[in-house]
């Protein structure tokens, strides 16, 4: 059976299973009989290098999340909490390992060439770090072979590129578990220490990055909210969190209306549910911050902004697995 016929058969099973189930989340679903039909699970496990599945019609709109599993060499794409695509990938080889953690798409370019490796072509490039890690179309030998980037099938990379936007959340994980966080760039500590007395410990410097995707990271351990725009720290404030934060969660701002800000939870590895999961007002009210900082923050929030809540510390003295958080531009 040729590749195209095999892909069409997988696609039929893929769409049928999703329509019956309503939603499937987390990269561990391929081993879960409760979340996925055996035909579909077997089909995805049997994907050969260069093959992919794509069914955007099962979730026509909503926030997009990509989860890259280094262990299975697959990328899983969700829209509005529903799995809409899976593809084989090739990530970083030994000595050039792809970093794990939570990232946002910082830059997109259809025709791009590497600044580090002999102008190697990187079609449909979606940059994750300013130090050279990106998702793009490339050679897929069936094992990790890149210099740290995530290579995808050309056709899939084009489809994904047309679906995503700058600021989209991308999770890269080694295991089927929710990533934890490592220290943020030294910029956070130097800024925080030099301006700790300003505005009750708050920092607000939007001029450091005047445009680009906005990402928020809230550390329950540090009682602090960090604001990044285009990967650059533009704000930080102490916060009060009522109750315990027991796991890492990710959200996307879906809309802003007369009722306020509507945050939709995005599925991370190990998390699953059916339908849309909006953050209730009772949960949002658990976090309080200085009124002046909240007013400034509200001015930069718009649909598509991502928020990651973690129990880990963002400081170098904190504990946690050695994972990369969003990098600042050098």
State the DSSP H helix or E strand holding residue 68, giving kind and residue range, or none if neither: strand 64-69
Domains of the chain: 3-173 (2.40.440.10), 186-310 (2.40.440)
Q: Is 89 exposed, middle or buried (0-12, 13-18, 19+ CB in 10 A)?
A: buried
pTM over 0.85: no
pLDDT for residue 186: 40
Highest mean pLDDT of the ranges 131-145, 200-214, 309-323:
131-145
Catalytic: 223?
A: no
Catalytic residue among 20, 111, 149, 262: 149
Catalytic: 20?
A: no
Catalytic residue among 20, 96, 112, 136: 136
Residue 134 in tokens: 């990106």
pLDDT for residue 322: 31
Per-residue CA distances from 326 to 128, 167, 210, 264, 285 (Å): 8, 11, 18, 21, 26
What is the per-residue DSSP string for 156-184? HHHHHHHH--TT-EEEEESSSS-----PP
Q: Would you give the DSSP letter of residue 20?
A: H
Contact 25, 268 (CB under 8 A): no
d(CA 212, CA 229): 6
Residue 139 in tokens: 């050679």
Lowest mean pLDDT among 55-69, 220-234, 312-326: 312-326
Number of other CB atoms surrounding residue 105 within 10 Å: 22
pLDDT tier for residue 167 given thresholds of 50, 70 and 90: confident
Residue whose C-alpha is closest to residue 212's, from 106, 68, 318: 106
């Amino acid at each position: 059976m040729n590749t195209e016929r095999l892909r069409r058969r997988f696609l039929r099973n893929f769409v049928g299973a999703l329509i019956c189930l309503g939603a499937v989340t987390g990269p561990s679903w391929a081993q879960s009989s409760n979340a996925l039909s055996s035909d579909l699970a077997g089909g995805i496990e049997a994907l050969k290098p260069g093959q992919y599945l794509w069914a955007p019609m099962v979730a026509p709109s909503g926030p997009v999340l990509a989860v890259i599993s280094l262990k299975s060499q697959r990328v899983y794409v969700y829209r509005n909490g529903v799995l809409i695509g899976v593809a084989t990938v090739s990530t970083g080889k030994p000595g050039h390992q792809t970093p794990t953690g939570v990232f946002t798409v910082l830059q997109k370019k259809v025709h791009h060439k590497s600044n580090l490796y002999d102008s190697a072509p990187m079609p449909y490039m979606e940059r994750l770090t300013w130090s050279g890690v990106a998702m793009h179309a490339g050679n897929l030998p069936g094992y990790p072979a890149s210099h740290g980037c995530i290579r995808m099938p050309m056709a899939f990379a084009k489809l994904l590129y047309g679906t995503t936007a700058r600021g989209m959340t991308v999770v890269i994980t080694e295991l089927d578990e929710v990533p934890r966080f490592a220290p943020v760039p030294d910029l956070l500590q130097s800024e925080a220490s030099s301006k700790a007395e300003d505005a009750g410990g708050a920092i607000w410097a939007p001029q450091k990055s005047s445009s680009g995707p906005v990402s928020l990271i809230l550390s329950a351990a540090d009682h602090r909210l960090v604001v990044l725009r285009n990967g650059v720290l533009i704000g930080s404030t102490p916060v009060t969190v009522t109750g315990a934060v027991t796991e890492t969660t990710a959200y996307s701002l879906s809309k802003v209306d007369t009722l306020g800000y509507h945050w939709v939870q995005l599925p991370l590895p190990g998390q699953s549910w059916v339908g849309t999961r909006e953050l209730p007002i009772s949960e949002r009210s658990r976090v309080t911050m200085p009124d002046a900082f909240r007013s400034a923050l509200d001015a930069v929030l718009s649909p598509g902004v991502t928020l990651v809540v973690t129990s880990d510390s963002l400081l170098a003295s904190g504990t946690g697995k050695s994972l990369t958080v969003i990098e600042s531009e050098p």
